[in-house]
Amino acid sequence: MDILRLVDELENLVGNTSRIPFTSNIIVNEEDLYDIIDQMRASIPREIKEARRTEAERQKILARAKEEADRLVNMAKEKIMAAVDDHQIIEAAKAHAKQTITSAEEEAWRLKADSHTYVTENLSDLEESLLKLLTTVRNGLRHMQQNPPPPPPPTMKTTHPPQEEDADLAEEPE
């Protein structure tokens, strides 16, 4: 699940709640809030795994580029050995091998730079999302801590908030 979608869901949950009259307080469905938070906890490791998978792909690409460069170097060495007697062929092979190695090194560097940029951008996006999420959660917790629930009515005998059924029973005359 995408962390940004979960942040949007959390924002919708807060935005679509009932307000307590004459205050800036809102009533949030605790089960819905905890459900979104649990989904966020599950989503973050997946996004980190995606970043690791991207890094592993980058390593594979670099390994393939190195293998190709090594293969080309070996091919060039074989050609050189076959033409030891002919100086012009040897010089041409050396130049070709050097050019091949340079091209392979440049391509490997480009791949490494591109994958580094890609991973950095993804990790930066993830960091930004996590910071926004953390700010939202901290603000919600601060709000909840600064605004404790009202004290129970003096007639209430239980220590837990009345359920809808309990409220109906309390209103009916005996």
pLDDT tens across 30-41, in order? 898 888 888 888
Q: Where are the extended beta strands (E) located within 3-158? A: 18-19, 26-27
CB 10 within 8 A of CB 136: yes
Say how far apart CA 113 and CA 111 lie, in whole Å. Answer: 5
Count of positions (residues) in the chain: 174
> What confidence category does residue 158 fall into, taking pLDDT thresholds of 50, 70 and 90?
low
Q: Quote the distance between the C-alpha of residue 58 and its chain's center.
A: 18
Q: How many domains does the chain have?
A: 1
- Reply yes or no on whether the pLDDT at 174 is more than 50: no
**pLDDT tens digit sequence for 51-70:** 888 888 889 998 898 898 89
- Reply yes or no on whether the pLDDT at 168 is more than 60: no
What angle, 0 to 180 degrees and rounded to 10, lies between the N-to-C axes of helices 87-146 and 3-15?
20
Mean pLDDT of the chain: 83
Mean pLDDT across the stretch 110-138? 90
Q: Where are the extended beta strands (E) located within the chain? A: 18-19, 26-27
- Reply yes or no on whether the pLDDT at 172 is more than 60: no
This prediction's pTM: 0.32
CB 126 within 8 A of CB 3: yes
- What is the model's pLDDT at position 21? 87
Its domain, for residue 116, covers 3-171
Instruction: Provide φ and ψ at 27, rounded to 5°.
Output: -110, 120
